[in-house]
Structure 1
Amino acid sequence: MSRTLPFFIVSILVQLVFATPLGIVPSPLTITNSMLHWASLGDSWATGVTWKKELDYDEDHDEVIKCRRSKESYAYQMSQNDLLFPKQGQVFKWPACSGSAFGVMAAQAEQMDEGTSFATLTIGGNQLGWDNMVQSCIYVPDPLRVICSPEYPDSAGDCYKAIELTKSKLNNDKEFLKTIPVMIGAIMDRGKAKNRDFQLYVTNYAHPFNVDPNWCDEQSFGMFWCRPRLTSKLRRAFNDIAETLKQKIEEGVQYFQDNDYNGRSLHYVEISQGFDTHRFCETNHTFEDQWDDNPNSENVWLYNPPKPFWVPQMPMQRDVDTWLSEHPENDVGVGGPPDRPGSVMRPFHPKTKGFKSMADNIIGKLTGRSK
């Protein structure tokens, strides 16, 4: 006799598990042959950025280099979490890929399995030139640059120009806000073709900084000769962009919910609040905490690049020469060889505990334990 529970029994059990105090409500999860099929779509905030072998999700080297999927990510942690559904009963598909933007989301959705119950989606940061801001305002990772640009908010500075360029892209509703419901529609069409009960859960991104004036105002994450200070004005500018991005994502989700017949199958998940007290520049943290590359760090839940040994002091030229010989692909951000180390691609991405917070918020939404 087969030991697989009949479909109708599994459906009843799932509804009981996710009952609320107001009564038993249908779960958003559709179980096929006792298995939960689900997928994760999006960019590097959906994949994480693997930077050492034990964090690699993919076994194929080319796939590791292409998409950087990491076992730190919220998607992987969800797939290993029995609170969502017994992990032995999960069939997890992971089309998300580092570097992705709106234009490839339909193609990612095509890769979902037949019978997919739901997908998660984190996307939008790569549309804006976020990495250009990080390079120009935070790290300035050019060892040959000795004439430094004015600090933010000087309008003649590279940082100011990078931030204004990102703002212009974010506030171009034709190219950004109006694209969100169209992209969601393309994903939803493909999801509903695979399962009429398909649901989509869209997240925002975390605000990277604590903005309170504190010890961080006179510190810098600059890696070489140019050391822009992490002033509260600069930190607030970064957080303001993260907040505007959040609002645009929420507006796009709300528009789809209000105007598309599949609107009830779309859900927004707020994740930034979970990073409170664990951002860069928290008042009760230290400068050394900012560079802690322990994936399970208790304090800062976002990555910096490998810390040059002279920081926070200015280097000697021989120090820089030594560093470059040990880290030939030192560029922080976009561009450069595709096989450069993940350790210089991970900055401003969550560590394991940051991604766990995201996973907890998504599971809470899925199971009805959070609004």
Structure 2
Amino acid sequence: MSRSYWTGLLALAAQLRGAFSYPANISEGQLVTRDDGDFIFAALGDSWAWGLVCALERVRWQRRQLLALQVRLVHRCREPWFRLAARWQKAKLEFKACSGSRTDNVMEQMVKTTRPKVTLMEISGNNADFYPMTDSCIFHSDRDKDYGTFFEDDDPDNPTGECWREIKLVRGRLESNDIKNKIVNVIHAWRGHPANMGNDASLFLFGYPWFFGDTKDCDNWSFSVFYEPEDKRQKLVQGLRTEFNKLIDEMNRNIREAVEMFQDSKIQYIDINTAFHMHRFCEPGSTWSDQLNWNNNVWIWNSPGRWWITIKKENDEKMYDMLAQDAEMPPWDEVEKMLAHPDGEAKQVGDIISRTYRDPDDSSHSMMWGGSLKDFKALGGSGSGGGNSVARTLHPTQSGHEFMGLTIVERLKQDFKGGVTQQPWGPINCPTAVLAPEPALRRFVLSSVIVSKL
């Protein structure tokens, strides 16, 4: 795991260790050097829990501020770096969350933790089975399946289309309180687990964000897979998007009410919906390229399967693989120009499905969009199958995870009062006043050496 993910977490841990572990009469100098074991964060639940780890990159500037002052203190006071930084080096993260996990899996994750002081958990999205609904209403990834009547043409009470059928199933699971009761059982298990009993530990559960913005700008857009015939594609009409957001509200209600049943200040709910404001699908002013993750404007992954694009112009040909390491996206202006001009129907050879598009102004300029049917079809079965490309569908991008984590960190700072210390405590008898800056080169070399040791 990249060390850069730890920066905000370590700085936050410095504050929380004091909040949890130290008597009020201990001096700041003693607090810096006292060694009372590791301060452990645990992350449990499903793949959305990655937000805790990836997001902390966003608060690393606080750590850099601390480093800058400590570099000067080390140089002037000739104190060892490890003494000044001891309280950050003791922070650890036990990441046990796993893609596809349901409430029943959390106990398996819990037994793998040691003695975490703070546990962050996101769970129950997979219990609602959102993925079959998402495929039936949005992607239509199964080429052999008839998805039936479109959302806007169907009768919600007596549906004939797969979309409304799946919506009713998900809504029934969420409104039955079965999921809430399962979350309550998980919290009971956490409270009674040996890792948490007598540990003065805290548990934070967080919800899920809306997938869509509330605008009619994308009513005529479709996220159906590229090989779906145009007349079979479900449009992203406003009613459909609103229905999805309402179901997420219901999911979050289950989590929040489960937490509130305990009336325990050490068990809290965190709303992360605001972290995705203006970065969901179909936000006002967004473009079609935004929806396909061609840039960083939408912080939720769209594509339900691995795909690749080959662009050809006369004798020049180049392939772009979505999941390749350091993947390069094809030029959007070329893709956009040809996407509305398919050259015939999709073609299948074995497991590979492809469709060709052609530049209306230049017949030598074409684009072939290809993918694996097995990969795409896996989406309709569950949220955890199908490999990396399917598993990340409707999950946060890196920026989404980062801002989720920033929201979580800000909430932790509120709950533990005062947040991350803006200036570190210096060692005993070491001056804490602002010191004259060292020559630029010396500051750079010293900073580089210290940072390289983190």
- Give the TM interval when normalised to the shorter protein: 0.7 to 0.9
Provide structure 1 residue ranges, at least 5 long, that are not aligned to the other structure: 1-9, 17-30, 48-72, 258-262
Partner of 1:53: none
**What corresponds to 1:159 in structure 2?**
163
Partner residue in 2 for 1:220? 222
1:172-207 Cα deviation digits (max 9, x unpaired): 12x222222221111222265465211001100010
The residue that corresponds to 2:394 in the other structure is 348
Q: TM-score, normalised by structure 2?
A: 0.62
Instruction: Give the partner amino acid of 1:196.
Output: N
Q: Does 1:136 align with 2:114?
A: no
**Preserved contact between residue 43 and residue 122 of structure 1 (Cα < 8 Å):** yes
SS at match of 1:181: helix
Partner of 2:284: 283
Partner residue, 1:150: 149
Q: Percent identity?
A: 25
Counterpart of 2:265?
264
Preserved CA contact (<8 Å) 2:100 2:383: no
Match of 2:120, SS state, is: strand
Corresponding letter in the other structure for 2:239? K
Structure 2 contact 148–162 (Cα < 8 Å) conserved:
yes
Please state if 1:358 is matched with 2:404.
yes
SS state at 1:113 partner: coil
TM-score, normalised to structure 1, is: 0.74
The CA distance in 2 between the partners of 1:213 and 1:130, in whole Å, is 23
Bigger mean CA offset, 348-357 vs 73-82 = 73-82
Partners in 2 of 1:190 and 1:312 — Cα distance? Answer: 57
Please state if 1:75 is matched with 2:53: yes
Once the two structures are superposed, what CA deviation does each residue of 1:231-269 show, in whole Å capped at 9, x if it has no partner?
A: 000000000000111112111110122xxxxx2210111
1:206 is aligned with what amino acid? P
* Counterpart in the other structure of 2:11: none
Query: 1:320-346 CA deviation, whole Å, 9 max, x = no partner?
Result: 656456435222525489874412321
Aligned to 1:231: 237
Q: Are the aligned partners of 2:59 and 2:406 in contact in 1 as well (CA < 8 Å)?
A: no
Pick closer, same or farther for the CA change 1:339–1:203 going to 2, 3 Å. closer
Task: Check 1:75–1:346 CA distance in 2 against 1; reply closer, same or farther (3 A cut).
Answer: same
Quote the offset at 1:77 in angstroms.
3.7
AA aligned opposite 1:360? L
With over 3 angstroms needed to count, the CA separation of the structure-2 counterparts of 1:191 and 1:285, relative to structure 1, is farther
- Partner of 2:414 in structure 1? 368
Q: Secondary structure of the equivalent of 2:284?
A: coil
Q: Is the 8 A contact 1:135 1:332 kept in 2?
A: no
* C-alpha separation in 1, matches of 2:16 and 2:383: 52
Q: Of 301, 304, 315, which aligns to 2:302?
A: 304
Letter paired with 1:14: G
User: Higher strand fraction: Structure 1 or Structure 2?
Assistant: 2
Q: Which residue is 2:345 aligned to?
A: 317
Larger Rg: 2
Question: What is the CA distance between 1:293 and its match in structure 2?
Answer: 5.2
- Alpha carbons 1:331, 1:344 under 8 Å: kept: no
Q: Which moved more, 1:314-323 or 1:203-212?
A: 314-323
1:18-167 equivalences under 5 Å are: 33=36, 35-47=38-50, 73-78=51-56, 88-114=89-115, 116-145=116-145, 147-153=146-152, 154=154, 155-167=159-171
One-letter amino acid of the structure 2 residue matched with residue 219 of structure 1 = W
Cα distance 1:13–1:43, how it changes in 2: closer, same or farther (>3 A)? closer
| 1:124-147: CA deviation from partner (whole Å, max 9, x where unpaired) | 1111110011110000002344x5
Report the CA distance shift for 1:148/1:266 in structure 2 as closer, same or farther (over 3 A): closer
Q: Deviations over 1:286-328 (max 9, x none)?
A: 011111255xx1x101001156767566673345656456435
Per the alignment, do residues 149 and 370 of structure 1 end up closer, same or farther by CA in structure 2, a change over 3 Å counting? Answer: farther
Contact persistence 2:58–2:402 (CA under 8 A): no
Q: Is the 8 A contact 2:183 2:255 kept in 1?
A: yes
The amino acid of 2:148's aligned partner reads: S
Residue matched to 2:257: 251
CA distance in 1, matches of 2:16, 2:161: 61
2:137/2:234 contact within 8 Å kept: yes
Cα offset, 1:113, TM superposition = 1.3
Size of the aligned set, in residue pairs, is: 311
Contact kept? 2:99, 2:384, Cα under 8 Å: no
Take 2:57 and 2:390, find their aligned partners in 1: how far apart are those partners? 27
1:189 aligns with 2:192: yes
* Structure 2: runs of 5 or more not aligned: 1-13, 21-33, 64-84, 310-337, 355-369, 418-454
Partner Cα distance (1:81, 1:193) in 2? 28
In the TM superposition, residue 81 of structure 1 has moved relative to its aligned partner by 5.6
Conserved? CA contact 1:293–1:303, under 8 Å: no
Q: 1:247 to 1:110 in 2, by over 3 A?
A: same
Name the SS for the 1:75 alignment partner. helix
CA RMSD of aligned residues (A): 3.2
Query: Contact 2:131/2:383 (CA < 8 Å) preserved in 1?
Result: no
Question: Residue 190 and residue 32 in structure 1: after superposition, are their counterparts in 2 closer, same or farther (change >3 A)?
Answer: farther
